[in-house]
Amino acid sequence: MIKYRKGYKYQLAEGYHIQTMLRPSEDIETEFIHLSILGELYIESGYAWDGPSGPTIDTDNFMEGSLVHDALYQLMRMGLLLQSHRAYADKLLVDITSSKGMSKCRCSWVYKGVREAAGFAASPENRKKVFVID
Residues 78-126: pLDDT tens digits?
Answer: 999 999 999 999 999 999 999 999 999 999 999 999 999 888 888 888 8
Q: How many beta carbons lie within 10 A of that of residue 75, not counting itself?
A: 23
CA 6 to chain centroid, in Å, comes to 16
Average pLDDT, the chain: 94
CA 33 to chain centroid, in Å, comes to 10
**Angstrom distance (rounded) from CA 23 to CA 124:** 20
- Identify whether the C-beta of residue 31 lies closer than 8 Å to the C-beta of residue 1: no
Q: How many beta carbons lie within 10 A of that of residue 13, not counting itself?
A: 9
What is the residue extent of each domain of the chain? 2-133
- Identify whether the C-beta of residue 127 lies closer than 8 Å to the C-beta of residue 78: yes
**Nearest alpha carbon to residue 56 among 112, 16, 100, 120:** 112
Per-residue pLDDT tens for 61-75? 999 999 999 999 999
